Every structure is written in C-alpha cells, then in structure tokens.
Amino acid sequence: MDHFNYHNNALHAEQVALTDIAAQFGTPCYVYSRATIERHYQAFTAALSGHPHLICYAVKANSNLAVLNVLARLGSGFDIVSGGELARVIEAGGDPTKVVFSGVAKTAEEIATALKAGIHCFNVESEPELDRINEVARQLDMTAPVSLRVNPDVDAQTHPYISTGLKQNKFGIAMERAETAYLHAQQLPHLEVIGADCHIGSQLTSLEPFIDALDRLLALVDRLAEHGIKLKHLDVGGGLGVNYQDEQPPLPADYATAIKQRLSGRKLTLIMEPGRAIMANAGVMLTKVEFLKQGDDRDFAIVDAAMNDLLRPALYSAWQEIVAVTPRHGTSKAYDVVGPVCETGDFLGKDRQLVLQPEDLLAVRSSGAYGFTMASNYNSRPRVAEVMVDGSQPFLIRQRETLQQLWQGEALLP
Ligand SMILES: Cc1ncc(COP(=O)(O)O)c(C=O)c1O
Ligand SMILES: N[C@@H](CCCC[NH3+])C(=O)O
C-alpha cells in the first residue's frame, strides 16, 4: 500500500492531486510521498525491534537531500558508494557515524574524507582495498573500522545486470579467500575488523537466496572466531524486491523474522541496506502526452519524459505500471509509451491499454528508486523537477534544470 490513490477521478499523492502538481511545477517531474517513505522505513525498524540493528538506507536509490533528510530525522543510517553520496548525507543532516561505505573502487581521497567524517564502517570489497585503507589511516594517524564484503556465490534469481553475489561478479571478496583476507586485515595496524557483509543483488523476490547467503556468512563468522577474530556486526546488504507488476516479494517482517531466528544467541548487531524497498513505491514520474501517433502496426503515445529521465525500462526492460492521472471512459487502445529521445530503446512501457487524448497526464508508478538518480542529460535534456508531498502540501525539492545548467563548466577554445 502506498499513498498514491484516486479521489474524484484524479490520482493523488497523499492529499494532493497530481493534476495540481503538473500545473504548479510542470512536467515531467518526480513526485514522492513523505508518508510512504516513512512507513516503509518504519516497516524495517519495527521488523527488527528486539534485536540490535542499524538500517542504512542505500543512498543510490534516491539521493535527493529532502529524501535523505526525512530518513535522517527518523534515525536512519546510510549506505554510500562514493564521496559524493557521503557529502549529500552530511549536507542533508545525516549522522556520519551511522554510515557504511560500500563500493569496489574507493579512492584514497574518498577514504580519507570518510575517515575524518567518522563513518561507522568501510565495507571492503578486495584485498588491495584493505591495504589502501590501512595506508590512508596510517597517514592520518587513525584507525579505520572495516568489514569485508564477502561474495557468497549465491544466485539471487534476479535480472543479470543487478545480480551481484555470483562468483563471476566484480563485487566482494570470494568466499574461499575470505578467511585469509580477514587474517591479513587483522594484522594491518591501522585497521579494526568489526564486521562481515554481503549484498547479493537487487529486486529479490524470494527469501531463499538471502538465507542461503546468510548461512554462508554465519559459517564464516564461526570459522573466524576459531582464529580469534570476533565480529561486532553482520551486514546483510539490501536487495529486498518490490511489487512492480505481480511480484510478491517477502515483507520486511518475514525477512527479519528469518534473520532474527538465525542470529539468536549471537551477539551480532544486524545492519541492513535497503534502497528500493523504501523508495520505489514512494514515488511516481509524472509525464504529459505530446502526440498520439499511428504507426504501421502499433500506436505510439509520445510523452514528454524519456529514457534519460527514467532509464529502467530501456536498461533492463523493466516493467513499471503506467496509469492515466485522470482516466477517461471509452475504448482503450494498446500504446507503446515512448519519449522524445533519438533511440529505439527509448520507451517507458510497451503495449499498454490506455484511453488517451493529447495533453493527458500519465503517471509511471514505482519510480521513486533508481529513477532520478539514474537520469542523464542525454539529447541535452535538462533533468526534471522533483516534488515531495507531505499531507496536503507539495514541496519543490529539486528545481528543473535550466538550459544554462546544461553547459555549466564547459568552455570554448580561445
Ligand atoms: C552494496 C549495496 N547495498 C545496498 C543496495 C541497495 O539495494 P536495493 O535497492 O535492492 O535494496 C545496493 C544496490 O543494489 C548495493 O549495491
Ligand atoms: N539500478 C537498478 C538496481 C541496481 C542496484 C544497485 N546496486 C534498478 O533500477 O533496478
């Protein structure tokens, strides 16, 4: 359940009609619901209550400052993958001591900044990264808290582009090398080994792969204990799927119950890094029909949003529901909903039954995660506005880019 529902034949975000948002802020734009973000976050904290835990929202899913701030106010931690994301968290009022830093290629500069900011932990993804973090910490005369991201070689049964826990993926340290890597880390004087971590992929719709990975991680924790390495936390990453079409992903409560069972009797704080599960269904992308065009064997609804604004359909053939903001009566037609970008892959949805007229507003549902954050300026299209609704109030949380911003920082030759 989200907070995007129809009242008086108009789709609303909480109490605000999307027609009013389009009139006030223009299209295309992203619209988020604060209440939905809060409810999704609280589903995780409620599910984990009774066990020491830290929810580290995965910033890459949606990094708008207002989104981060809403979560920071609830006490959320953050999973980051770059110095840019750390800067956003701090700018948004997030607590750096609740930040975990993942990512396969942290630069020395990013490591130094994160160390000085006092982050909770580095999720280390390779042996050479251990040495780099140790060296940066030595130069700063500090000790870096580290956890090793282990690659458990588990099939997440998701789209191959977003599966990360298989041997052939670039992420994490191979399970068979993990013990040796931990022993090495233990000997580095400027590191403190505090945890173990894995993240096997995104949009998982069953518990099995999670549990499989967790069991492998716990077996490693036991082997490490035999070497005298005692960990304080276990970070199970993100990856919990959402309902885009007819998926039935496990609820945070089901997932948490399964984890808590396995962790009972162990003194391990649990860290989770959900991104999509918090943000995807907390946002829609609002777009306007420019033209209805009859093709040879199909009809096109050409809208003002494109793959540069919402990449998921083009990149993963992802299916997201497209609905009319003010539905019309009449006989529907099958439309390919496409954008203005010069690519055949520029579509938001194919073969969608809709009753449409030019100028109609459409909402692409489930766009709150990996929507705006994956947007680009391809075809010199300014990035769109973002709006957050809080009850009966819409707030502009990112202005639509101007044309001048498109070439900001560029220079002509003398
Ligand atoms: C290390 C890490 N943590 C957390 C996430 C968030 O994943 P999701 O949005 O599927 O919850 C990702 C992205 O898949 C990730 O790479
Ligand atoms: N961007 C992807 C998910 C990748 C997750 C990043 N680790 C999506 O839209 O589904």
Q: Give the residue-averaged pLDDT of 14-19.
A: 98
pLDDT (tens digit, 9 = 90+) per residue, 349-385? 999 999 999 999 999 999 999 999 999 999 999 999 9
pLDDT band at 153 (very low <50, low <70, confident <90, very high): confident
223 close to 179: Cβ distance less than 8 angstroms: yes
286 and 270, same structural domain?
A: no
At 381, list the tokens. 């299209």
Known binding residue 316? Answer is: yes
CA distance 40 to 62: 14
* Domain membership of residue 288 as a residue range: 4-32+280-406
pLDDT digits (tens, 9 = 90+) for 273-293: 999 999 999 999 999 999 999
Residue 289 and residue 192 in one domain: no
Round to whole Å and give the CA distance between 333 and 374: 30
- Going edge to edge, which strands form the sheet with 4-7? 4-7, 10-13, 16-17
Active-site residue list: 342
Final residue of a domain: which of 237, 260, 278? 278
Cα 302 to averaged position of ligand 1 atoms, centre (Å) = 32
Whether 411 maps to a domain, the answer reads no
Q: For residue 412, is it within any domain?
A: no
Locate the DSSP E strands across 157-268.
173-174, 191-197, 233-235
For residue 299, being part of any structural domain is answered with: yes
User: Could you tell me if 146 and 245 lie in one domain?
Assistant: yes
Same domain for 303 and 263? no
Q: pLDDT category, 1, cuts 50, 70, 90?
A: low
- Identify which of 7, 6, 9 has the alpha carbon closest to the alpha carbon of residue 329: 9
The verdict on 291 and 270 lying in the same domain is no
C-alpha 370 chain-centroid distance: 6
Number of H helices, E strands in the chain: 12, 21
Residue 117, in any domain of the structure:
yes
Tell me, yes or no, whether 260 and 351 share the same domain.
Answer: no
Mean pLDDT, range 32-36, rounded to an integer? 98
Distance 272 CA to ligand 1 centre (A): 10
Instruction: Please tell me whether residues 266 and 298 are part of one structural domain.
Output: no
Residue 413 lies in a domain: no
Are 18 and 327 in contact, with CB atoms under 8 Å apart?
Answer: no
pLDDT in tens, 43-90: 999 999 999 999 999 999 999 999 999 999 999 999 999 999 999 999
Does 318 fall in a domain?
Answer: yes
Q: Compute the half-sphere exposure of residue 7: CA atoms within 13 Å on the CB side of its CA.
A: 10
Say whether 335 counts as a known binding-site residue: no
- Asked if the model's pLDDT at residue 295 lies above 90, the reply is no
Q: Is the CB of 312 under 6 A from ligand 2?
A: yes
Residues 190 and 333 in one domain: no
Both 231 and 168 in one domain: the answer is yes
CATH code (residue 20): 2.40.37.10
Which pLDDT score is estimated for 307?
A: 98
**Ligand 1 binding residues, C-beta < 6 A:** 58, 61, 79, 102, 199, 202, 237-240, 273-277
Residue 386 belongs to some domain of the structure = yes
Long-range CB contacts (< 8 A, 24+ apart) of 67-75? 67/32, 67/37, 67/279, 67/388, 67/397, 68/92, 68/93, 68/94, 69/93, 69/94, 70/34, 70/37, 70/38, 70/388, 71/37, 71/41, 71/278, 74/38, 74/41, 74/42, 74/45, 75/45
Q: What is the dihedral of CA 202, 208, 212, 215, to 10 degrees?
A: 110
Render pLDDT for 378-396 as a digit per residue (tens, 0 to 9).
999 999 999 999 999 999 9
CA 158, CA 151: separation in Å to the nearest integer?
16
Point out the domain boundary residue: 252, 278, 304.
278
- Beta-bridge partners for 66: none
Q: How many domains does the chain have?
A: 2
**Same domain membership, residue 207 and residue 97:** yes
The CA distances from residue 303 to 289, 293, 349, in Å, are: 4, 11, 11
Domain boundary among 229, 260, 278: 278
Q: Judge whether 361 lies within some domain.
A: yes
- Same domain, yes or no, for 174 and 247? yes
3-state secondary structure of 204: strand
Ligand 1 atom closest to the Cα of residue 280 is: 9
Shared-domain flag, residues 348 and 319: yes
Alpha-helical (H) ranges within 50-96 are 65-73, 83-91
Task: Answer yes or no: are the C-beta atoms of 200 and 236 closer than 8 Å.
Answer: no
CATH at 78: 3.20.20.10
Query: What ligand is nearest to the CA atom of residue 81?
Result: 1
